[in-house]
Amino acid sequence: MTNVSPTLEKLHDKLGACPRCTFCKWVPEVRSQDFAEICPSVHHGKFFSHTAGGKLIAGYALLHNRIDYTPDFIQNVYSCSMCGGCDTSCKTLLADAVEPLDSLYALRQKVTADGHAPEPLREMLDHLRTLGNPWGLPASMRGEWFRGLSLKQTQTDQAPVLFHVGDVAFDNEEWPAIRHIASEFERRGVDFIIGGVDEPDSGGLAYDIGDQDLALNLAQQTLAWLGKSGAATVIVYSDDVFSAFRNIYPRLGLSLDPIKVIHIAQWLAENPATVAAGQRRDTVTYHDSCRLGRLGEERLPWEGETVMAYNSIPVRVPEGELYLGVNGVYEEPRQLLRAVDAEIIEMERIREFAFCCGAGGGGKQASPDFARAAARNRLQEAQRTGAEFLVSSCTACSRYMKEVAQEAGASIRVFGLIEYLHARQSASASDASHKAGE
């Protein structure tokens, strides 16, 4: 299997077709000046060069040897979370005349292949190659979260459902939430297995950083492992992995078919837990993560070429789908919050037009100031709603926004979705047992 992602050279005409309209800077539906941007990169950098359009023009100039690698250029390419907001805005207004996200992936691939990826990201790629995770932690740590639980594992067992945990296995603060899901499966009689130390990295982060060969290799390992597991359904805990399966694998020409992929929020929404009546009602604002939202939209593999119509309009042959991010997972997390009696107060930028918190795509490691500026802007927007809680399905988002909220002294309390549901249910159960003992 070869990688079918378009190279920067193949995207040459699309790069040249960008009229520098700057639509990729803004949400298509602006509600206020404070939260009009969709691109965290330009929010931080301020100049057109920081927009997707600016990065595309730089890629075009690079192909024509009109610019060379400079620290500023590299910093600009990686002051970006690969959130896809630019792609959604550009295509909402201009259809597929330009391909911002494909071009950003291709630009990073070239920068990485030419040996210019920033040092922290090169280290992450090395760790992925040698240890199978980007954090430089021992692979055996994937087996820690379920210590003391007796769960079926892919090393020795098979089952119709595979619970894919992802990199949260390396984060001990997430372990109670993951264990909560395992016990929910057991409580509801689901016959499931986990990967434990056998679970490979999905390859999504390697693709985001720009090493598409490594991404392809990890994705192939994942597919081989899934195939051996005997599972017909994979329930995915991590938004990053969900996005890798639905957004990155098709770009690599791979598919999980016939294995069905669902996110844990979708599975829970089919059978939501509730809380006892009389619980205090929380006010919650929900942050749509890019990876569950617009980049969680299912793509179909596409292979073809771009030809110029009338010598000036790039056209894809054969014609491909137009992905606007509208088919991401938006409703189920909200349903789950309502089921535990939370009152949702929406931010201005939601669903496919959500503003990224800056934590993804290697942007946080390569350009910490960029990521912090994005998270602070998102926290301001969340606080403007007046909600007490900010909840996100993505543990990378919730973990990072917690950190930045603490730094900034923000009063809003940040939770991961499963962490929040678990806390609400535990509080409800403890209230009920107090009442029963009265």
Measure the CA–CA gap between 160 and 6, rounded to whole angstroms: 35
Of all residues in the shown chain, the one whose CB is closest to ligand SF4 is 53
CB of 243 to ligand SF4, least distance (A): 13
Q: Which is nearer to ligand SF4, 126 or 321 (CB)?
A: 321
Q: Which is nearer to ligand SF4, 52 or 193 (CB)?
A: 52
The residue among 395, 15, 354 whose CA lies nearest residue 167 is 395
C-beta separation of 226 from 234 below 8 A = yes
CB of 48 to ligand SF4, least distance (A): 8
CB of 310 to ligand SF4, least distance (A): 18
Q: Distances from the Cα of 135 to the Cαs of 78, 170, 177, 218, 364, in angstroms?
A: 18, 8, 21, 16, 13
CB of 12 to ligand SF4, least distance (A): 15
CB of 400 to ligand SF4, least distance (A): 15
The residue among 65, 85, 87, 77 whose CA lies nearest residue 112 is 77
**Where along the sequence are the contacts to ligand SF4 (CB under 6 A)?**
18-24, 38-41, 51-53, 56, 80-86, 90, 94, 98, 100, 104, 356
The strand pair at 233-236 and 161-164 is best described as parallel
CB of 297 to ligand SF4, least distance (A): 15
Q: Which is nearer to ligand SF4, 61 or 131 (CB)?
A: 61
CB of 344 to ligand SF4, least distance (A): 25
Say if residue 393 is exposed, middle or buried (CB neighbours under 10 Å; 0-12, 13-18, 19+). buried
CB of 320 to ligand SF4, least distance (A): 17
Q: In the block, which residue shows the tokens 């939501």?
A: 272
Q: Distances from the Cα of 318 to the Cαs of 7, 250, 306, 309, 381, in angstroms?
A: 18, 16, 9, 13, 41
C-beta separation of 323 from 297 below 8 A = yes
CB of 428 to ligand SF4, least distance (A): 38
CB of 34 to ligand SF4, least distance (A): 18
Measure the CA–CA gap between 152 and 157, rounded to whole angstroms: 6
Q: Which is nearer to ligand SF4, 206 or 231 (CB)?
A: 206
Q: Which is nearer to ligand SF4, 86 or 292 (CB)?
A: 86
Task: List all residues 6 or more positions away from 186 whose beta carbon is below 8 Å from its beta carbon.
Answer: none
Q: Which is nearer to ligand SF4, 8 or 161 (CB)?
A: 8
Q: Which is nearer to ligand SF4, 162 or 396 (CB)?
A: 396
Q: Which is nearer to ligand SF4, 56 or 234 (CB)?
A: 56
Q: Which is nearer to ligand SF4, 231 or 359 (CB)?
A: 359
The strand pair at 389-392 and 283-287 is best described as parallel
Measure the CA–CA gap between 241 and 144, rounded to whole angstroms: 19
Measure the CA–CA gap between 347 and 284, rounded to whole angstroms: 10
Q: Which is nearer to ligand SF4, 99 or 211 (CB)?
A: 99
Measure the CA–CA gap between 110 and 120, rounded to whole angstroms: 17
